[in-house]
Amino acid sequence: MHWLDALYLSLTRRQALFSRGWGALEEPLAQVESLLVRSVPDPLRLDFLPTAARTEEAFVRSPSALLPEECSTLHLTRLRAQGTLRARLIVPPSWGDEGFRMRRWLTNGLRYRGVEVWLFEGAYFGSRRARGQVGAGVTTVGDFFRMGLANVLEARSLVMSALAQEPRAPVVLAGYSMAGQMAGHAAASLDVEVPVVAMAPSNEASVVFCDGPLSMGVDWSALGDGGKERLRALLVRLCVSTQPVPRSNRRVVVATRTDGIVPPRSMEAIAAHWNVTPRWVESGHLGAYAFHREALHGAVLSAVS
């Protein structure tokens, strides 16, 4: 394990996850199967307003009908590119990513290389938290599935919105950690060719929430006897490797060799499914974010070159 991952895990105060148990699972589970069939969603109608130099934001109703009202408004920030527009980049949220500061730091350098960046705040985080939720502590397993489905559906619709923008430019899906996994799900379920870049992604969430460090934040008593195995069986249904391979042959997995949060074998599973060779970074999960942004930038630029 990379030293920075070990330090982070030793110092981080973990939010209680699933403290209210399983919640309502039937509806979100019924929609999981729809992601195995490619489709083309309608674009969202976006009315951007300037908030700072070369930065704009928009608010729109989420395309996911499963969200509670307080989570249902999608908040989008657009970071305009400098110089000639080369591409548009859609970046879903990573786990616990409240607001935009972390992803702005990760992607901002791309703006100076002609890439316009679209960041959206995920359901159940930040201004989109559910009632009674503290921080990133999603309170039920059902809400966890609603969160993941909303991330994917919103990313898909934003891809179509970006493709309809003028001037026209290639659109790329990319993300770090959970955002990389969500980008992979979105790209695989779209019946359009969209390049995708996943950095330090997990193939499926059980390696983190059942076996990995975030399992220490799960309220296993609220899930009852056999809760871990039942949760693992549910999360396995959301494997990237159970979906079709994204239509675009421009797909990249940036993998972290000494990752202490997402096992490298999980990243290798995505790369094998996508029939690509991982681009290895000699660092861990936090080290890649802190010191290897250029690996993500280079992968995005190569996907549109």
**Fold type of domain 3-304:** Rossmann fold (3.40.50)
Is 90 exceeded by the pLDDT of residue 241?
yes
254-277 pLDDT, tens digit each: 999 999 899 999 999 999 999 999
pLDDT at residue 36 in the model: 75
From first CA to last CA, the distance across the chain in angstroms is 34
Specify which residues 17 forms β-bridges with. 218
pLDDT at residue 135 in the model: 84
DSSP string, 119-156: EEPPTTSGGGPPTT--TT----HHHHHHHHHHHHHHHH
Tell me whether residue 149 is exposed, middle or buried, using C-beta atoms within 10 angstroms of its C-beta: 0 to 12, 13 to 18, 19 or more: buried
- Which has the closest alpha carbon to 279: 287, 118, 247, 288? 288
Q: Where are the domains of the chain?
A: 3-304
67-106 pLDDT, tens digit each: 999 999 999 999 999 999 999 999 999 988 889 999 999 9
Distance CA(173)–CA(158), nearest Å, equals: 10
Q: Where in the chain does DSSP place strands (E)?
A: 49-52, 55-61, 73-79, 87-91, 115-120, 171-176, 196-199, 251-256, 279-281
Higher pLDDT, 2 or 10: 2
pLDDT bucket at 10, cuts 50 / 70 / 90: low
190-232 pLDDT, tens digit each: 999 999 999 999 999 999 999 888 888 899 999 999 999 999 9
Torsion sign (Cα): 304, 106, 9, 209: negative
Is 90 exceeded by the pLDDT of residue 12?
no
Amino acid at 103: R
Greatest Cα pair distance, the chain, in angstroms, is: 58
pLDDT at residue 216 in the model: 87
Distance CA(181)–CA(60), nearest Å, equals: 24
Least confident of 1-5, 122-126, 290-294: 1-5
pLDDT at residue 16 in the model: 82
Contact criterion met (CB below 8 Å) for 115 and 80 = no
pLDDT at residue 4 in the model: 61
Mean pLDDT of the chain, nearest integer = 93
Torsion sign (Cα): 32, 183, 15, 262: positive
Least confident of 14-23, 54-63, 151-160, 190-199: 14-23
